[in-house]
Structure 1
Amino acid sequence: MALKLLKKLLFDRPLKNGVILNHQYKIEECLGMGGYGLVYLCTDILTQTPYVLKQLRSTKAKKEKEKVRFQQEIKLLKSIHHPQIPGFIDEFIIDGQAYYVMQFIEGENIEELLFFQKQPFTELMALRLISQLLEIIEYLHDHLIFHSDIRTPNIIINNGRLCLIDFGLAKQLTSEETEEIKVRKQDDFFDLGETLLFLLYSQYKGKKKKNGTWLEELTLTKEVTLLLKKLLGIDEEYQHTASIREDLNRAIQSVT
């Protein structure tokens, strides 16, 4: 374990600010370091356009399995065309190291808004944001693409418009892979419910009980409660996004 960590520190250091890749993309700052890739904010020096650049970790690039996975991620992003998902821009390899470039989405992620800025969201605001997120999931699932990492840091809001980022764990399946489709579909539905719960808790002012649940702590309409129970698998799970859309519309009506 210690050896693996040492290798990461030695070989997976982020690129320095100011480095120019492929004679075009200037590194501005490292935005994050995951277990599998490094993400940067960069500028296209030809157009002065900001982009996000992802680099496969050097230690991962030595393994054929990881290189194939990175190429699959690129292929997946190329196939997605949705206004609330960052568009694919470019890809290149330098000295055996793979990179790709995608649109930069301005705004703040929900984690930042909830836990650092302490921004409250009303029930109606939360449900309308979830409606936007469901629209993205509907598009992805229609193309048998499953995100598998719908979390508050991966959801960006800009002037009320929601965008979904980070497709590092996403996978596109074939219609024959029925069992994996079921599992991944439910994972995305659960994440949708958990995101709604985080938003709803932003207005909670009571004292959290040691073993209290959201059913005891939050005062919600029966329509919102039903939606959450089914998304989180407490009641019979949803099988299709269309059913979620129906219940979500009823929940929105119940709070307006």
Structure 2
Amino acid sequence: MFNLTRSYRKHALSIIHKKISSALRLLGGIPFRKGSVIAGRYRIGRWLGSGSYGVAYLAEDLQHGRDCVVKRVWPLRGGSSRADLIYSMETDMLRRFSHPAFPVVYESFLWRGQRCFAMEFMPGSSLDALLFRDERKFTESQSLRIIRQLLDLVIILQGEGIIHRDISIANVLLDGDTVKLIDFGLAREIPASGDLLAEPPAWEELDALDDDPSEKKFRRALHVSSDFYAIGHLLLFLLYSTYAMEDAGPDSSAAIAESDPSRGWGHELELHPATKKLLRRLLMTEQPFLNAEEICTCVDDILPLLPAAD
């Protein structure tokens, strides 16, 4: 069962983990200095973030006079051969698409012996920023409409034989009413075996919390259900935004502290029964969905049942 306190604590730990990872990179390598120009073309701006496999910066493309993202692929472990493999997979996958919801790769290049690429800077705000920085509230209907758009993007990916494996509030952007999906560093080809619990290759570092092996296995499984499971957790983050407001007043931190860990989302959230069933299937506590189209149909059936005010 998803629990508000536990999930928000995990989110905080994840942020700390990323900051530590960034610090290790700064100690172990040469960071891009703000204002410097690399590859004769990209003026480095602010640091955007880091993950298991790389560091991203906002930059100005001096050749075309536009903002872009410069990503340096630099896994914390595994050396250059692993970096080459991750780099090739991410850039190759992004080049398969020509869709406004996915970033376009502009150029691939080597800089000081490390693999980098420049890609489109996607306008919009992450759901992470909207929820935690802006304290944005999403109704049940609004939340379902967001994942409905997200599912359309998953269908496009899976049509190309790709699973994202890192769908999260940090990697889903909202630009007005339009949903976008970024960060393909963990994306992989769907294996022909279709094994639900297929293990990732031995070279691959799993970017998950050590104290939650079940969640790690579901999120990183080389199977389409890993994206569905992640969408279920993302949906709960959206739905809990109104729980904090209604049950604990304006101080969302109080809501987190006072949430009863023994109750779970099924008791804490007032949702339409069909939405609860949708969540249980996404989180694999009931019969899992077999494909994204089936989930889309389910969401389309629920939306007319919700209050018109949403």
**So what's the TM-score if we normalise by structure 1?**
0.91
For structure 1, the 5+ residue unaligned runs are none
- Partner residue of 2:284 out of 233, 242, 248: 233
Q: Does 1:88 align with 2:105?
A: yes
Report the counterpart of residue 131 of structure 2 in structure 1: 114
Structure 1 residues 217-255: Cα deviation after superposition (integer angstroms, max 9, x where no partner): 111112211111111111100001111011110111111
SS at match of 2:170: helix
Gaps of 5+ in 2: 1-20, 200-220, 248-257
After TM superposition, give the deviation of residue 40 of structure 1 in Å.
0.6
SS in 2 for 1:46: coil
| CA shift digits 1:45-102 (9 cap, x unpaired) | 1221000110123876942122222122111111122221111111111332211011
Residues 81-131 of structure 1, C-alpha deviation per residue, up to 9 Å, x if partnerless?
A: 222111111111133221101110122111111122211111111111111
Give the aligned partner of residue 225 of structure 2.
Answer: 186
Q: Does 1:224 align with 2:240?
A: no
- Give 1:154 shift: 0.6
CA distance in 2, matches of 1:247, 1:5: 40
Cα deviations by residue, 1:169-197 (Å, 9 ceiling, x for unpaired): 001235x2322498521110011111111
> Against the structure 1 CA distance between its residues 213 and 65, is the aligned structure 2 distance closer, same or farther, given a 3 Å change threshold?
same
Q: Secondary structure at the match of 2:156?
A: helix
Please say if residues 114 and 202 of structure 1, whose CA atoms lie closer than 8 Å, have aligned partners that are also in contact: yes
Instruction: Establish whether residue 196 from structure 1 lines up as the match of residue 235 from structure 2.
Output: yes
Identity of aligned residues (%): 29
Q: Which amino acid aligns with 2:229?
A: F
CA–CA separation in structure 1 for the residues paired with 2:22 and 2:296: 45
- Whole-angstrom distance in 2 between the partners of 1:216 and 1:59: 40
Mapped partners of 2:24, 2:239: distance in 1: 42
Instruction: Kindly report which structure 2 residues correspond to 1:46-85, keeping only aligned pairs within 5 A, or say none.
Output: 46-57=63-74, 62-85=79-102
- Give the stretch that moved more between structures: 228-237 or 52-61: 52-61
Answer whether contact 2:103 2:122 (CA < 8 A) is retained: yes
Within 2, Cα distance between the matches of 1:88 and 1:129? 25
RMSD: 2.2
Kept in 2: contact 1:61–1:67 (CA 8 A): no
Q: 1:210 to 1:102 in 2, by over 3 A?
A: same
2:174 matches 1:157: yes
Whether the 8 Å CA contact 2:190–2:222 is kept in 1: the answer is no
2:193 counterpart letter in structure 1: E
> Which TM-score applies when normalising by structure 2?
0.76
3-state secondary structure, aligned to 2:71? strand
2:193 maps to what in 1?
A: 177
For residues 58 and 210 of structure 1, do their structure 2 counterparts lie closer, same or farther at Cα, with a shift above 3 Å needed? closer
**1:202–1:250 Cα change, 3 Å:** same
Which residue of the other structure, out of 239, 264, 276, is the alignment partner of 1:213?
Answer: 264
Task: Give the length in aligned residue pairs.
Answer: 252
What secondary structure, in the 3-state scheme, does the structure 2 residue paired with 1:223 have?
Answer: helix
Provide the C-alpha distance between the structure 1 equivalents of 2:168 and 2:122, rounded to a whole number of angstroms: 16
Out of 105, 113, 116, which is 1:99 matched to?
Answer: 116
Against the structure 1 CA distance between its residues 189 and 16, is the aligned structure 2 distance closer, same or farther, given a 3 Å change threshold? same
Tell whether 2:251 aligns with 1:251. Answer: no
Is the CA contact (8 Å cut-off) linking 1:12 and 1:59 kept in structure 2?
no
User: For the residues of structure 1 that align with 2:117 and 2:29, how far apart are their CA atoms?
Assistant: 17
- CA drift of 1:13 comes to 4.1
2: CA distance, partners of 1:68 / 1:142:
23
The answer to whether the 8 Å contact 1:109/1:153 transfers is: yes
Structure of higher RCO (CA pairs closer than 8 Å, 6+ residues apart) = 2
Question: Does the Cα contact within 8 Å between 1:154 and 1:166 map onto a contact in 2?
Answer: yes
Distance 1:218 1:7 in 2: 39
2:264 aligned partner, one-letter code: T
Distance 1:148 1:51 in 2: 24
Q: Secondary structure at the match of 2:115?
A: strand
